Amino acid sequence: MEPPGLCRICCLIRYVRPDPCVLNGETLEMTKRSTVAGAVALAGALLVAAFTVPASAQCGSASWYALYSQTASGEQMDPSELTAAHRTLPFGTKLKVTNQKNGKTVVVRINDRGPFIKGRVIDLSKAAANRLGFVSSGVTSICMARA
- DSSP string for 64-124: EE---SB-TTSSBP-TTS-EEE-SSSPTT-EEEEEETTT--EEEEEEEE----STTEEEEE
pLDDT means per 10 residues in the chain (147 residues)? Answer: 42 46 56 54 51 64 94 96 96 97 97 95 97 97 95
pLDDT for the residue numbered 57: 75
* pTM score: 0.63
Nearest alpha carbon to residue 69 among 16, 14, 119, 125: 125
pLDDT for the residue numbered 40: 54
First-to-last alpha carbon distance for the chain, in angstroms, is 46
